Amino acid sequence: MERALALPAPAKLNLFLHVLRRRADGYHELQTVFALIDLADWIDVERREDGQLHRSGDVVGDVQLDLVMRAARLLQQRTASRFGADIHLSKRIPAGAGLGGGSSDAATTLIVLNRLWNTGLARQQLADLALELGADVPFFVHGRNAFAEGRGEQLTPLALQPAHYAVIWPQVHVSTKEIFEDSGLTRNTKATKMSDFSAAADPVPQTLRERGETGTPVLFGANDLEAVARRRFPVIDQVLAHLARFGVARMTGSGSAVFAITANEDQARAAVADLPENWRGWVVRGLAEHPLSAW
């Protein structure tokens, strides 16, 4: 296999995000649920025999510093691969939105090059490399919805009920680093258990499913980063207010994208219809697993 085309790098939502404390190493102890959705970037990769790495397509910032190139260089160096690659990225997931686009791009790059270069790393070995690129890159490498702890790298697979979401991005770029460094960030949320989430956050309660009804979807917990992001970027408040008319609305990650879990696809479509000119909206479905899980 020398070429792989139209490979997906799906986005994620944080169904909740709790900040428990600041750690001695400067990072924060978190709890969250990562949920894969079918909004995706697309990557084309062709193996090179000369060891060179070339990047084309959509680039955010310095091409040599972007996560796709960093992922390719890291795998090449750690496995001493003689191969290189031409990598073309088509972006649909906006940067600075809290949707994990860059991390997902890096994960797909690792998964694909591991196959094209015949480096033979197991998924856990790829995830160990991925952690050097970012705390949520291992989630995309493992490719399963998960309850996450630590910095977000301690993952327990989690089955989520099928769900539709309306996602709106007000085209504001938010710096995750600045949100976490804000003095107004609350860092003392009480730790929860995965069983608490599972019991409280079933989008369609079991009693209603048994009667063939959809019910009103719910969301567990909160996003502790939301208050800081809303203060810094008031437009996030406007998006939350808009989406709250259609379902339970919440910011994902450190923002600025906001999502609502809706009762059905029609409700999600209504939520993203007739948006202000500077807002972008998508109707998405939750994914049970990463499309490249079998790889």
C-beta neighbour count of 211 within 10 angstroms:
7
From the number of C-beta atoms within 10 Å of its C-beta (0-12, 13-18, 19+), residue 214 rates as: middle
Indicate the residue type of 4.
A
Tally the residues of the chain: 295
Token pair 């609502």 is found at: 260
Spot the catalytic one: 105, 136, 202, 224: 136
Spot the catalytic one: 12, 41, 66, 105: 12
91 given a catalytic annotation: no
12 given a catalytic annotation: yes
Token pair 């705390």 is found at: 135
Q: Which two tokens stand for residue 99?
A: 């949707």
- Which residues are identified as catalytic? 12, 136
